[in-house]
Structures are given as C-alpha cells and as structure tokens.
Amino acid sequence: MADKKQYFGTDGIRGKVGESPITPDFMLKLGWAAGKVFASETGQRSKILIGKDTRISGYMFEAALEAGVTAAGVDINLTGPMPTPAIAYLTRTLRAQAGIVISASHNSFEDNGIKFFSEAGTKLPDEIELAIEEELGKPLTTVEPSRLGKASRIDDARGRFIEFCKSTVGPQFKLAGLKVVIDCANGATYDIAPAVFSELGAEVISIGTSPNGLNINDHFGSTSPDALSKRVVEEQADLGVAFDGDGDRTIMVDHLGNIVDGDEILYVIARERRRRNIDIGGVVGTKMSNLGLELALADLDVPFIRTAVGDRFVLKEMLKRDWLLGGESSGHIICNDITSTGDGIVSALQALTAVINTERPLLDLRSQMRKLPQSMINVRLTSTFDLDSNQIVKSAVADIEEKLGARGRVLLRPSGTEPVLRVMVEGEEGGAVAAFAKELSEIVLQEVAGSD
C-alpha cells in the first residue's frame, strides 16, 4: 500500500466542481472504493450514511456515491441536507460503518468535496484513507445482483439531531428571555439551528435560511459576519450566532455587534467550565490562535498547547492528552466530552451556558480575554527557497522575538493551498506589530529573490 495520499487532504477531498477529482465519475468510483473498504471490515452486511449541505452539486454527487457504494454491496442511509456534525453523530448512533458528507464547508457553491467519518464519528485514520485510495486504482466491479446494496432515507434525521443538540445542555437549560439572531449561511443548518434555539426558549430571528443551491456562504455565515452584526444591532438582540455552510463552525456577535471569534468562544467555554469546577485538562489551539487566548487561559491556570492548523491535528492532540476542549480561531471548536467532532450548534450552546449561568452579557464574558494585535503579510515563494535553512531569516525572527518578549510572538507558515509564506507577528502594541511584520516580510522577500 502507498504511504502518501493522492486525494485526501487534512479535511477530506475538496475542489472545484467539474474539475478533477470533483467530478461525477470520480465520485462513483470513490463510493465504490469506500464501499469495498468498509465491506471488508466486517463479515456482516455493512451500512454507510450519506449527508450533504445545500450546494446544487450535492444532488449530483449524492447519486454518484449512492451508485458506487451499492455496487460494492453496501447499504446506504440518506439524510438529505444535514450539518456535518449531524452525520458524525448519526453514523455513531445508527451503528453505520462510516459516514460521508458532501460539502466544501465554508467555500462558495462552485466548490464541493467529501468528508468521511468512522463508525465512532471521528475523522478516518490515515490507513483507512490510504486503503480507499488503493481501491481507487483498481477496476470497478459490481457484486452479484442479489448482493447489491439497498438505499433508504432516514425520515427523522432532522428531529434526531435537534434533540441531540438540546440534550447537550441538559433538560433544565432554557434560553427564555433571550433574543438571538441566527445566521445559517444558507447552508446545512438552515432548518435545524433556528429550531434548536427556539425550542430552548429563545426569541429567534433567522437570516441566511433560504438556500437555493447557489447562495451558500454568500455574504452570510461565519466567514461573512457583517450581516449578522448589523442585524443584531438593528433588532436590539442580546447576541447573534453564525454558522458556516456545513455547520461545523460558529462565530458569535455580542449585543453591540462586536464579532466574537473562535478563540474568544473557546475562552468563554473554558472559563465557564473552570468556574463550575469541571476538569477539562487543558485547551488545544493552533499556531494561529491569538496569543491573548494563551495568556488569558494562563490566568485561569488552564494549560494550553498549539498544533498545526487543522481540526484533525487539534483533535489528535486532545485525544493524546485526554483534554476535553480545543479549536481554532475560525470557530471550529471541539467539545470532546460532548461530541466527536467540531459542531457549531453545540459550541454556541456551550458558550450560552456561560451567559445564562452567570447572567452576564456575552460582551462582558469575552472582554476578560484581550486579543493582542496581529499583523499578517503574505510573501510569494519560489520553488528554490528553503525557509528551514535560511539563517538570515532565522536571525531576523529571533531578533524580533527578543524585542517582543513574552507577550509577543512570530510565526512563519507556508500556505497549504498557494505558494506563499504567511508572515505573522503578534504583540502588545499594534503599531510595533505592523512595523515588525513589514520588516520581516521584506527580509523574506529579499531572501526569496536571492534564491532564484
């Protein structure tokens, strides 16, 4: 078996619809390959769950995957449009061998992709992804007609997930008296999130809940929270909650319209757990997590550690340390004592427990963490530039880190999607941070030019 993946990235397979590998013929083969792998995992008849977000291309890929999986002799349960974390939950509770989500998360409708979940509701381990890729290299064959898989729809998938979300805050928890604006990005949470918050007693105003297949993440949702901020102020709401297209991220807004990002939500949740003497072990963030989060958690005596960017790495570190809370500034937050993957609705509800239990507005709760100024500049790279061995850049980084002291940091991170180096500086004073970032990016640019 090959040890390097050709198709799977850090979050499944993703790309532009119609361009390889995001094509109907590839999805047919992918469904078959996955079916072959999961059929071989057990001697009994296997079952795979398939859900999707609201992209128009989801219907096309759902049909292709269905054909491939059933050709491999594996049964299918179809949920229709559902948040990604709902598929993780339902895969686990319905005892399926795997779950498949057709989604490109926070990307626009032109893109689509595939995410897989194991029977435990977690991302697939590398060896399973490699096994699927190995099957992709083989000719597609169909099982005997009597062994073909059967497809059926789960009619109560929506209700099951709504009840699960409500159960995560307990039967006594109520949002009565709270006015909340919910932004669903015209995505997979469009008819679930409003119902969850409404059934918990909140007065709900919904935006981004009219998907047409083409408007997912379009000027709405966690990646475009300006519409939510404006509406919260207009409605004089207590707060706002925005999800991304597949519902695994959340960004919040306080009653003044200020955006509360994933780092601040993590802090609010961690602080509330600490106040209630719930042992979370520590918090896992990423290299991009704001230094203000690390410093604020230190004030609470909560350990903090960083990983590479990506929820896969965050969860891996959480499991390694047996810590219960982790996430990214993008709003992808994992509460591992509640569910097995990032869940926007669950994360928002966990933050709201702090609002309800302390009877304090979100503005007050988030203000106890001071986000430090951050400046990031992208420098275009060439194939000949070797960052790891460049002593001039390393010396410049060390010099700036010494000037920043313990309340500042420097991060050089190659982009995973384009040939650029992200030069990021963080510190106490915004002007100095911007100047240091400019100085360092110019040094990197000179060294890149000199490497040609």
448-to-339, 382, 387, 394 alpha-carbon distances in Å: 44, 7, 9, 14
Strand, helix or coil at 378?
A: strand
Query: One of 46, 105, 224, 329 is an active-site residue; which one?
Result: 105
Residue 298 contacts by C-beta under 8 Å, 6 or more apart in sequence? 304
Please check whether residue 258 is in contact with residue 371, taking contact to mean a CB–CB distance below 8 angstroms. no
Please check whether residue 6 is in contact with residue 103, taking contact to mean a CB–CB distance below 8 angstroms. no
Torsion on CA atoms 255, 256, 257, 258, rounded to nearest 10:
-100
Count CB atoms within 10 A of the CB of residue 56.
16
d(CA 109, CA 245): 9
Tell me the β-bridge partners of 75: 47
Count CB atoms within 10 A of the CB of residue 119.
20
- What are the strands, taking DSSP E only, across 259-320? 259-260, 283-286, 304-307
Catalytic site includes residue 152: no
d(CA 167, CA 209): 24
Among candidate residues 338, 366, 53, 345, the one with its CA nearest the CA of residue 202: 345
- Total residue length of the chain: 452
Q: Which residues are catalytic?
A: 105
